[in-house]
Amino acid sequence: MKHTLYVSAAALALSAGGALAQSDLPFAVGEGAFDWDSYTGFAEQYDLSGATVEITGPWTGNEKEKVDQVFRYFEEATGADVNYSGSDSFEQDIVISTRAGSAPNLAVFPQPGLAADLASQGLLTPLPDGTAEWVAENYAAGQSWVDLATYEGPDGTEDLYGLFYRVDVKSLVWYSPIAFDEMGYDIPESMEELKELTQQIVDDGGTPWCIGLGSGAATGWPATDWVEDLMLRTQSPKDYDAWVANEMPFDNPKVVAAIEEFGWFARNDEFVQGGASNVATTDFRDSPAGLFTIPAECYMHRQASFIPAFFPDGTEVGQDVDFFYFPAYEDQDLGTPVLGAGTLFSITQPSDATSAMIEFLKTPIAHEVWMALGGFLTAHAGVNPDTYVEDAQRAQGQILADATTFRFDASDLMPSEIGAGAFWSGMVDYVTGASAEEVASDIQARWDSIQ
């Protein structure tokens, strides 16, 4: 049954001290800090009773449970049914189903590369006219998100093929607030200040950084994030994009300089817990442990928003550990770039209900529901940050909101033999003594060999 809800009805329910009776919705319409106007305005536009939207993506388990609750609001507003199926082998499954003509209506891609490949084969449908302009105006660093989801179709024409939804932030430095307070250290607001703090900690008898590149067969990947972040802080977004596309070779002096900037932190025995020789052999999951010892064995750890999963049990973010934005160079005038990742919705089988889902995903409420359920960040500038369930997510959301440029993890966009191969191993070679020029030349030679 379709329930069309109006702002006046929501207001009436609130004034009566009650709530509208959607018993299976996680948050009653009209209650809380959500943008219910965006929901009711959307609901007034659609009656899709009897329609079904089929969606597939990488979210399983707890994440599937949360996105299913988001989709309940679309169902309640439109009368349509939503069937979402998550898969650990999504990347393989979506290629097979699109090529076989049996794809669902929408696919949730965990990175742009695969979406771009399918778009070039004519297996995706461009998003409706005007969506690119809407994203540019309504997302923080909006043009970055347009660029990341704009691909060439089979005829070479560029169109917007994806709407980014859930985002991860990688430009974070985790630190020990207890150790910082004891020593009177301030949070650095520029890369110059971060370098000064690094040296100050050494001068005071401490070890500034805990860094670990170990990750089994994927050893080396944490260093690629460092280099990517430093590319964004030393070179323009245009240069970063050219590097990702191999239009700027890996052994270009600009890339070599970014690798050496990483080396300033990682190849100094005084700067790294256990010394520089320990960086390549320390597992990334174990590397932040020094933040939690008393006294702290290291003060800072650069890593993405997921790293709390590997902190000691019972750790409270904001009390036992906290984070700050990995700062930009004051003298570079490159704004506040953010490195990260994210998922995007693309149309694989168009329909009226599918177009309505894209419109729903543009509403603040489609983001705020998952924000309130936890484990979700968004670049949507229209959401109410008060709906973030945790202070840490709210602070990371603010980092996204303040971003002047957002760029996707470069290694995830490069061919797997480079991004998940030569780049990883090259960084291990670098921290164990090879020169940046040598490493960069070897990676470029590998890239040249696969073209």
Segment 255-293, tens digit of pLDDT: 999 999 999 999 999 999 999 999 999 999 999 999 999
Looking at residue 24, its pLDDT comes to 84
- Rounded to whole angstroms, the Cα distance separating 129 from 228 reads 33
Ordered domains of the chain (ranges, CATH): 7-169+342-408 (3.40.190.10), 172-338+412-450 (3.40.190.10)
Whole-number CA gyration radius for the chain: 23
pLDDT, residue 23, reads 56
Residues near 11 by beta carbon (within 8 Å), at least 6 away in sequence: 30
139/145 Cα distance (integer angstroms): 8
Residues of the chain with pLDDT under 70: 1-23
Identify the CA nearest to 194 among candidates 370, 35, 325, 314.
325
Among candidates 162, 60, 59, which has minimal Cα distance to 118?
162
Read off the pTM: 0.89
Encode pLDDT of 104-139 as tens digits.
999 999 989 999 999 999 999 999 999 999 999 999
Q: Which residue is listed with tokens 């300089």?
A: 257
CB distance 353 to 105 below 8 Å: yes
- Start-to-end CA distance of the chain, whole Å, equals 55
Amino acid 111: pLDDT: 86
- Distance CA(313)–CA(373), nearest Å, equals 21
Strands 337-347 and 106-109: antiparallel
